[in-house]
Structure 1
């Protein structure tokens, strides 16, 4: 009898060891997927059993009950996070659980470029991969209302940067992040403004920064150009900046700015109207924001592009005309 029970014990032990080995093999065995990449969406509030069923529902070759019991056995079943995931070839039950617990969602990114206007931003959002187009078809006014800024023009209100987002997340949520980023950058710049700045508010600084952004891409010239515009504002001289005129022309601008365009009055024509335009004309970056609130101190009232990316600055109209002849007309 003793031998019988000993044999039974040994057989049971072997069965347990075999089961353990099988389980160890299973959790390290790659899950068969129907495609190289498979999307998995876990909604908030989904139970561990529901997560296992969602994985199986993607077509992955795994039994949901086994996967559920693996979640339970690991002790991490309640740590699984909701989100959008990508299952890739080579994924095992063990690595799958690690991904779900760490919340390693599938992400994409979009770049909002310094100097872009809001039409360009909306076009980029529309083309962004796996970004839900909740803003599509919404007029600018309605979109800004959704963002909590009713009555505010969207131009220049979003900070240019690279934004990472989860697959199938909302483009409105991404714009909210970009708007808050601009709020922070603008607040910091305004707090660091020069004492004698001829600007009344942070909004005016944003407008000036957008003009500086469009006037030059050269870091060394930003503060110098901001200084020219600050000098003009102090004496009541029109800003006469071509980028604002072009912005006012909108989609009618064909790439060639003509004399009649400079004379065509719009709210953004800084040749026909004094002071700053009513809104920004583009998204300024951090450097342009700082240049607008800390302009260079000089007496120049004019500048002209040299043709090599730099600008030539002049204190008088006569000097400026000579510089235009030299750098623009080759005389």
Structure 2
């Protein structure tokens, strides 16, 4: 009898273990397989939250089918105490495992509100925008000029949120003075910027920042990135280049940057200036004359006067031979590369063509015809 009972108990134990193994396999499959979420959501994990609250939130939003199974998976993966506060973009179909990895890995929030300070050539704008999970695109909520416009209420409101992200977007062609003055106007930053960085030595790029960051430290980061770009561009120079040093490359790149905003034209513009330098011709470019007037401090806001075009300054390339003594702006990587790897062409002239780009010419006669066309376009625009 005892043998029969023992045999039955062993059979039951085997069945139980078999069923338990099946449940574990099923649970693992549910944890790692595609989830029920039909469209992306923004999951906010406030500071002080826990996995129970997060799992309930996820279940209410239809991102998971089972809160208890989610929590078991978290415990099984030993991540119960690794929850990080923030806002997370949970994509459609995300598995429980994917979500757990997101909310325990932390890092920069991938959803929610972003405040962007756009440092442009003509003005600085602060944008408050929020990510729409359904389209994965940002929706602008407010826009203002820091230090000049009245601060919108939503800006102060979002600054109070711990998971709001901040970014400085530095446009190509801004001057070092513009960058420093812009940083001074950003109220989330601290400290004095210190001595203004040399012209051309700041990298146009996007910079993640946080409230309380030091202005001088941010400028140092911008300088470091530009140094790396200058070195990389100089190493990639071609034998068509007319510049003989990284500093000359930086000067020429800044002129290219100010002459065209069309990416496809940079090497063409570079070819014009390279050909002129090789032939001993003056560069005759307006942006350098403007820099001689403004020193990069603000925007001229009007056309150049004939007296300014004739006035001798170190940057007036209608008067001086060769390159000016310093860069006239902070160029981007594409302009740096163009300065040392220009197109192979015979172009010596270019003028605006009315489309945002330029018409290029080899001879003066051809250039004069292009100029005449541009004057007609200008006249038509002024008459409208």
Which category describes the TM-score, using the shorter chain as reference length? 0.5 to 0.7
SS in 1 for 2:318: coil
Partner of 2:336: 289
Moved more, 273-282 or 245-254: 245-254
Shift in Å at residue 86 of structure 1? Answer: 9.3
Instruction: Kindly report which structure 2 residues correspond to 1:166-315, keeping only aligned pairs within 5 A, or say none.
Output: 166-250=210-294, 253-315=300-362
Q: Which runs of 5+ in 1 are unaligned?
A: 1-25, 31-73, 80-84, 89-98, 145-153
CA deviations over 1:266-314 (Å, ceiling 9, x no partner): 1111111111111111111111111111101111110011011111111
Residue pairs, 1:51-66, within 5 angstroms = none
Q: CA deviation at 1:28?
A: 4.7
**CA deviations over 1:30-51 (Å, ceiling 9, x no partner):** 9xxxxxxxxxxxxxxxxxxxxx
**Larger relative contact order (CA 8 Å, sep ≥ 6):** 1
CA RMSD of aligned residues (A): 3.2
Q: Conserved in 1, the CA contact under 8 Å of 2:49 and 2:85?
A: no
Structure 1, residues 154-196: CA drift from partner, whole Å, max 9, x if none? 1110000110123211111111111111111111111111113
Distance 1:121 1:86, change over 3 A: farther
Question: Paired residue for 1:120, among 135, 159, 178?
Answer: 178
SS in 2 for 1:159: coil
C-alpha separation between the residues in 2 aligned to 1:179 and 1:119?
14
1:121-140 pair list within 5 angstroms: 121-135=179-193, 138-140=194-196
Kindly indicate whether the alpha-carbon contact (under 8 Å) linking 2:255 and 2:287 is maintained by their aligned counterparts in 1.
yes
Q: Closer, same or farther in 2 for the Cα pair 1:103/1:264, shift >3 Å?
A: same
SS in 2 for 1:164: strand
**SS across alignment from 2:240:** coil
Matches within 5 A, 1:64-83: none
Distance 2:355 2:107 in 1: 49
